[in-house]
Amino acid sequence: MDKPQKNPTSQIGTSTPKSKFEDSPVFNYISNLSPIESVKSISTAQTFSSLSFTSPPPVFTSPHVNSHRESRFLRCHYSVDRAKHLESLDGSAIKEEVVVPVIEDLNKEASLEDEEETSVETAYELPQILKFSSQTPEDSDSPCTEDVVIEASSDPPRGDGGSSSEDVKMGVENMLVVREEKDTPDCGRLISDATELLVFRSPNDSEAFRCLVDKISSSERRFCAGVKSTKRPKITEDVPANGSSNENEPLTVLPNESVFNLHRGGMRRRCLDFEMPGKRKKDIADDHQSVCDNNVAGESSSRCVVPGIGLHLNAVAMSAKDININLIHDYSISGEIQKSFSGSTIPIHSQNTVQETSDQAENEPVEEIPKALEFPSLNLGSLKKKMQKKRKSEQAGEGESCKRCNCKKSKCLKLYCECFAAGVYCIEPCSCIDCFNKPIHEETVLATRKQIESRNPLAFAPKVIRSADSVMEAGDDASKTPASARHKRGCNCKKSNCLKKYCECYQGGVGCSMNCRCEGCQNVFGRKEGSLLVIMESKLEEDQETYEKRIAKIQHNIEVSKEVEQNPSSDQPSTPLPPYRHLVVHQPFLSKNRLPPTQFFLGTGSSSFRKPDSGLTQSQNEKKPLETVAEDKTEIMPEILLNSPIANIKAISPNSKRVSPPQPGSSESGSILRRRGNGRKLILRSIPAFPSLNPNQ
DNA sequence: GAGTTTGAAACT
DNA sequence: CAGTTTCAAACTC
């Protein structure tokens, strides 16, 4: 375990005696230092490079809420996704053991990033961090770069990691060793792996990136202008060098960086590419191909292991499939961890997922991921099966593809066309007829796009808004669920009950909201808070007493679940609660069409149950359930509006039709209506109920 | 793979 | 703004 210290000692024994004896103390010291120094310098290089990608300038200001999250890019999605994944691994004890150190280190890493590329001392620490967080991408690179660093970093019992358990360290170390053995031969591959891992950990644009990658790999014709880095062209050019041969460079970093750029700016740029027509094509054509080729080299197909079904490239929602994607790559890591902890729960093949980015990864992980996933708000076996089935069929069929349109009459120049709507050119695999959405017709495309945008400025904006971005900052990453994002405009489903992909909310993996005009919403990701209407209806139908009893009962249930959560030793309620029990608990409520307001809003946020004072007291609720809703929202709304630029626009969007509130005749409902009828104001307040997702509310 | 269903987009 | 038509994806068989 003390290898780093060992080495110096051995060197003392061997090298120094050969030099002059009288100087031996000094030389010993110096010679001891020098090898370490070299290692240091290398790691410093890594750090420098790695740091360089921590603070890329915001090249594009995207309409979606992003900026503040970017600064914590790594921390946010690393920790969240990993935590999610680990959670999904059924392990309870294991989960906790693993998650803690990992997140700690990740936070550390993040904090390092925050300090920016500054001191060498900071840089010097990086290897340590890489070690523990190296369960992930960085780790896979390292074998390539230098085994020394890995050894040094992986062996010593770092203090921070030690806080949790030796098992964690051992697990990681074992993993590292295994990786080292297997990976060393193929550095390029590893780089690709790292890239891949990093990319797919992204909570946001994984779909988009997938599409990009797929496009690039399948055909260079697809317009991938966004990848071209306008501000940092050099980086993109560095990638190839690294990806191919350069072993001395900080491999850990550059791929990440490139991917990072790709991911951050690239996709957005890509979506915005229509706005900078002139420049694009030439540079991009070359640049891009090189970048894309290099990024994708050797792994193209694997990128789309799970076929993309998302709405838009820049769709933000972390739908189940996104998580799946993440898991596919995270899986091996966690699998290894778990293996090292709990024996052989996870088959060894899972390791291959990272090492073999190839098609082989398609089946097994995809098979297993859903099992581990247990998508939080779903709890639907049938849905899961369905998705699995779908995935399989897609794999077998179209293969690992992302959006490919099939337009026949629109010439791919209308939003009907998914490619066009996503801001990308159609490519070969598209089955479109008479397609104008091609670089050749760039001007036409631009003009059309402009026209559409003039009609609806948000036409090309992401359809799904991740409203929880700000929430994440607050700290409780666990609270980030797909339900925390919302469809921009809301759906208008009439017959599908928001249970099929006809529904854009469902397709985006988000719950319906007050923006939705859907009827009979059964969206498994979250029913529209139109349930407020349902609430009112139910309130009308029920006499007050019954209603309050129900609320009390619900509150009681919530309390019970809270207790269970806080006191794991106690027996669980009748329904065994998965890691997402807080979500599952309120599922039954949601399944009833009458949803008491307080309960609903308590339940909407995954963390709400954890936070005792997140809602009002039971007595309060019993007295004024509806007012409670209003109050909560009143506090919440401004934040949402602030955090979501689109939301601002949305408020004035002509598209946001609204379901008229019921027009009950009873006096009681009258008051309610008066409150709502105050008009617009109240209605607006009731829009953002998601904020209740915010653990800090 | 063809036909149907569905809801968004476009149109009036 | 509301109603209708067009369109292509999703779905079913």
Domain boundaries, chain A: 1-379, 403-462, 465-697
* pLDDT score at A226: 36
Name which residue leads in pLDDT, A31 or A336.
A31
User: What's the CA angle centered on A15, arms A13 and A20, to 5 degrees?
Assistant: 105
User: What's the CA angle centered on A556, arms A599 and A512, to 5 degrees?
Assistant: 20
pLDDT confidence bin for A402, thresholds 50/70/90 = low
Query: For residue range A255-299, what is the model confidence (pLDDT) as tens digits?
Result: 333 333 333 333 333 333 444 433 333 343 333 333 333 333 333
The protein residue nearest C2 (Cα–C1') is A657
* pLDDT score at A561: 54
Segments of A425-550 assigned E as strands: 464-466, 485-487
Name which residue leads in pLDDT, A552 or A602.
A552
Identity at A632, one-letter amino acid code: D
List % helix, strand, coil for chain A (3-state, nearest 5).
Answer: 65, 0, 35
Q: How far apart are CA A467 and CA A613, in angstroms?
A: 22
pLDDT above 70 (res A34): no
pLDDT above 80 (res A421): yes
A684 CB and strand B closer than 7 A? no
Give phi and psi for A54, each to the nearest 5. Answer: -80, -25
The separation, in Å, between residue A499 CA and nucleotide B5 C1' comes to 14
* pLDDT score at A461: 82
Name which residue leads in pLDDT, A487 or A392.
A487
* pLDDT score at A399: 37
pLDDT above 60 (res A519): yes
- A44's tokens: 């410093």
Round the average pLDDT of chain A to a whole number and report it: 46
* pLDDT score at A247: 37
Provide the 10 A C-beta neighbour count for residue A49.
22
* pLDDT score at A516: 86
Average pLDDT over residues A643-663: 37
Name which residue leads in pLDDT, A557 or A84.
A557
Q: A204, A192, A206: which is closest to A353 by C-alpha?
A: A192
* pLDDT score at A145: 37
Nucleotides of C under 7 A from a protein CB: 1-2, 6-11
Exposure letters A167-185 (e unless 16+ CB within 10 A, then b): bbbebbbebbebbbebbee
Nucleotides of B under 7 A from a protein CB: 5-10
Helices (H), A53-156: 67-70, 73-74, 80-88, 93-114, 120-133, 137-145, 147-154
The separation, in Å, between residue A74 CA and nucleotide B2 C1' comes to 47
Give residues 422-481 of chain A lying near strand B (Cβ < 7 A). 452, 455-456, 459, 463
Name which residue leads in pLDDT, A422 or A329.
A422
Query: For residue range A71-95, what is the model confidence (pLDDT) as tens digits?
Result: 333 333 333 344 444 444 444 433 3
pLDDT above 50 (res A568): no
User: What's the CA angle centered on A110, arms A105 and A111, to 5 degrees?
Assistant: 95
Average pLDDT over residues A200-210: 39
Query: For residue range A364-388, what is the model confidence (pLDDT) as tens digits?
Result: 333 333 333 333 343 444 444 444 4
**CB-facing half-sphere around the CA of A609: CA atoms within 13 A:** 28
The separation, in Å, between residue A76 CA and nucleotide C5 C1' comes to 45
Instruction: Strand C: list protein residues with Cβ under 7 Å.
Output: A 309, 390, 405-412, 414, 416-418, 500-502, 507, 654, 657
Average pLDDT over residues A142-153: 37
Query: For residue range A298-353, what is the model confidence (pLDDT) as tens digits?
Result: 333 333 333 333 333 333 333 333 434 333 333 333 333 333 333 333 333 333 33
Question: Which range scores top for mean pLDDT: A57-61, A485-489, A588-592?
Answer: A485-489
Q: How far apart are CA A288 and CA A673, in angstroms?
A: 57
Q: How far apart are CA A245 and CA A226, in angstroms?
A: 26
A174 CB and strand B closer than 7 A? no
Query: For residue range A527-556, what is the model confidence (pLDDT) as tens digits?
Result: 876 444 444 444 455 445 555 566 666 666
pLDDT confidence bin for A505, thresholds 50/70/90 = confident
Average pLDDT over residues A459-479: 53
Q: How far apart are CA A513 and CA A491, in angstroms?
A: 9
pLDDT above 60 (res A462): yes
pLDDT above 50 (res A497): yes
SS3 A189: helix
